[in-house]
Structure 1
Amino acid sequence: MDQVPGSPHKPQDAQGGDGLPGCSRHPDRPTGVRCTRCDQPICPECMVSASVGFQCPSCVRGGSGTGHAPQATAPRTIAGGRIATDPRLITMILLGLNAAVFLAVLATGGTSSWLPSRLDLVGLAADPSQFRLVGVAEGEWYRLLTAMFLHQQIAHFAFNMLSLWWLGPPLEAALGRLRFIALYMLAGLGGSALSYLLAAQNQPSLGASGAIFGLLGATAVLLRRMNYDMKPVLILLGLNLAFTFLWPNIAWQAHVGGLVVGAAVAFGMVHAPRDRRTLVHVATCVVALLAIVAVVWVRTLQLLG
């Protein structure tokens, strides 16, 4: 991305649509954060973690005033991740995986085929001749993961993928690749776990919606951390929750589970103390995963009992 002409240490105060100044390198992105060295407005993509606050890439490269060489060689995101040259790589990989599975489902005959029936989320099913355990309750815990990549209809697939493309890159840029994929997977698993816990025993569920709602919750947490205007994301979240509960045949449990886990994991990532950031991030992800395992274990014991 080309830098805005002019002195790299002259604050750029072009106002964004919500009254915040535009980023000095990306004027179309309003931001409430400024470089601690030159006071330029900087967006999440341009933020480099410093000993105090954040710095812009120009000051990091110039090394003006601090004498800390590691800051110039190892710039970090707001969550402590490495700044990637392409902040959309993981998002595009996830899009590709979802598309590949969707095409495989179509190729094998749709939702009645073996592929989705063996990979979607099922707790307990009633057989005409016998009552038998299937799915997660039978020990097929992999369904908690595979259900995240299945979609029943093209509209279902298209809406989730558009949401992923819209929400994914900014979060990937702000968190870093490893933290972003951890957030996505945990949110998706959280949605599967709550769906398994609360949905009807013989009701399968599938879709990336739990992970998408996790990204939406994480976006709200990140914007709050950045002191951005929360109204747009809160309105979007409210509309999505209303749609979740008012539209028939939607697994609201997966949406709520993904939202809660995604917001909780993101909070741990962006609010971790700098000197213990890695430890807090690992602990946050481990606690979230243990909570998911506990929910699945309790529900399985209920079904088996």
Structure 2
Amino acid sequence: MDQAPGSPQGPDDQGPQPAQSAPVCYRHPGRETGVRCTRCERPICPECMVSASVGFQCPECVRGAAGTGVSPTAARPRTIAGGTVTADPRLITKILIGINIAVFIAVRSSSSLLNDLYLIGEWPPAPFVPTEGVAEGEWYRMFTAMFTHEAPWHIAFNMLSLWWLGGPLEAALGRARYIALYLVSGLAGGALTYLIESPTTASLGASGAIFGLFGATAVLVRRLNYDMRPIIALLVINLIFTFGWSNIAWQAHIGGLVGGLVIGYAMVHAPRERRNLVQYGSCVLFLAVIVGVTLLRTAQLT
């Protein structure tokens, strides 16, 4: 029954309340969030969240506290993974994209340079072929292949993925941890390709590192208790392309994904009191596995 105007309203007689929409990040109005800055109480999304001793803070409050004379640890809280908050949270991502584009331009202007950069185990006996391979001691190919692309569509797809995934991860992990994740994931993809693929098959591209970012993003989303469905759906779509399209080195994708999951988990779940040891120790151990796999395959081919 409706209540007469002016009559007192009891606790159980409240009328229907208007539905309240979820708050959105004040820096990214299109992103709903349930987290607020512990200083200014404005809503912030994962990209803007800076881990503090209690809760999270927004980038403006972190920068504003830097000149207040408070101790550095109190004035400049760390990211969720313990990284240092920076003014440009996408700097390393921009540099990585720039390196990939620069190598792509150089490769397009010199086919001989391409032969020196891509990943290949070994060439069959042919004295007129100058290229050798990882089995002949050219280990640097495991690294250079991560930044080498030949087809325009290939580098376009990888760089778009790097920009989309890399920025939020760099902001969440910090620069040093982010670049460690990227490189270890890329090397893991190269190592698995070298181990399983025919030694005379050439492989190139940043896809292994990109899939590592996918894995780490899934771990981060889970850590923040956000909806996992979008990232899982995107990952499934990419895996369908991986196994359904010819001329794709699925080994690089899977190796990078595993590397991203392992390193990403170590980055965001490391205990605060042993954070650096767990995070960078995991990177070193995973690199040791990569080196072991490379040595094993080289011994099989020589």
Task: Tell me the TM-score normalized by structure 2.
Answer: 0.85
Letter in 1 for 2:165: L
Secondary structure of 1:81's counterpart equals: coil
CA distance in 1, matches of 2:72, 2:124: 61
Name the SS of the counterpart of 1:78 in structure 2.
coil
Contact in 1 for aligned 2:63/2:76 (Cα 8 Å): no
Task: Specify whether residues 116 and 270 from structure 1 end up closer, same or farther in structure 2 by C-alpha distance, changes over 3 A only.
Answer: same
- What is the RMSD computed on CA atoms of the aligned residues? 2.5
String of CA shifts for 1:25-56, please: whole Å, max 9, x gaps: 43322334444577654323432323344344
* 1:104 to partner: Cα distance: 0.5
Instruction: List runs of 5+ in structure 1 lacking aligned partners.
Output: 1-12, 16-20
C-alpha deviation, 1:222, in angstroms: 0.8
Partner deviation per Cα, 1:157-179 (whole Å, 9 max, x = no partner):
11111111111111111111111
Gaps of at least 5 residues in structure 2 are 1-19
Q: Displacement, 1:88?
A: 1.2
Asked if 1:103 corresponds to 2:105, the answer is: yes
Counterpart pick for 1:225 among 223, 226, 232? 223
Contact 1:265 1:285 in 2 (8 A): yes
The alpha carbon displacement at 1:284 in A equals 1.3
CA separation of 1:131 and 1:47: change in aligned 2, threshold 3 A: closer
Change (3 A) 1:285 1:25: same
In the alignment of these two chains, the number of paired residues is: 279
**Is contact 1:44–1:78 with CA below 8 Å preserved after alignment?**
no
Instruction: Name the structure 1 match of 2:172.
Output: 174
Pick aligned residue for 1:119 from 93, 101, 117: 117
C-alpha separation in 1, matches of 2:185 and 2:60: 35
Residue of structure 2 in register with 1:201 after alignment: 199
The CA deviation at 1:133 is: 9.4
Deviation at 1:132, TM superposition (A): 11
Superposed CA offset, 1:153-202 (max 9, x none): 11111111111111111111111111111111111111110000110121
* Mapped partners of 1:32, 1:135: distance in 2: 52
In structure 1, the partner of 2:78 is 76
**Structure 2 CA distance for partners of 1:60 and 1:163, relative to 1, 3 Å:** closer
**C-alpha distance in 1 between matches for 2:91 and 2:128:** 47
Of 291, 294, 303 in structure 1, the residue corresponding to residue 292 of structure 2 is 294
Equivalent pair of 1:221/1:266 in contact (CA under 8 Å): yes
Q: CA deviation at 1:139?
A: 1.0
Q: 1:36 & 1:82 partners in 2: Cα distance?
A: 18
- Change beyond 3 A, Cα 1:115–1:58: closer
Q: What corresponds to 1:157 in structure 2? A: 155
- Say yes or no: does 1:192 pair with 2:190: yes
Give the aligned partner of residue 6 of structure 1. Answer: none
Contact 2:78 2:84 in 1 (8 A): yes
Cα gap change, 1:138 to 1:179, in 2 (>3 Å) = same
Alpha-carbon shift at residue 271 of structure 1 (Å)? 0.5
Task: Provide the C-alpha distance between the structure 1 equivalents of 2:259 and 2:34, rounded to a whole number of angstroms.
Answer: 26
Aligned-partner Cα distance in 2 for 1:205–1:194: 11
Contact 1:45–1:77 (CA<8 Å) still a contact in 2?
A: no
CA contact (8 A) 1:31 1:228 kept: no
Report the equivalent of 2:236: 238
The answer (yes or no) to whether the contact 1:98–1:150 under 8 Å persists in 2 is yes
Identity within the alignment, %: 62
C-alpha contact (below 8 Å) 2:186/2:209 kept by paired residues: yes
Distance 1:100 1:59 in 2: 37
Q: Which residue of 1 aligns with 2:283?
A: 285
For residues 279 and 199 of structure 1, do their structure 2 counterparts lie closer, same or farther at Cα, with a shift above 3 Å needed? same
Please tell me whether Structure 1 or Structure 2 has the larger radius of gyration of its CA atoms: 2
For 1:254, the equivalent position in structure 2 comes to 252
Which of 123, 129, 138 is the aligned partner of 2:136? Answer: 138
| 2:115–2:131 contact (8 Å) kept in structure 1 | no
C-alpha separation in 2, matches of 1:14 and 1:87 = 29
Out of 74-83 and 39-48, give the one that drifted further: 39-48
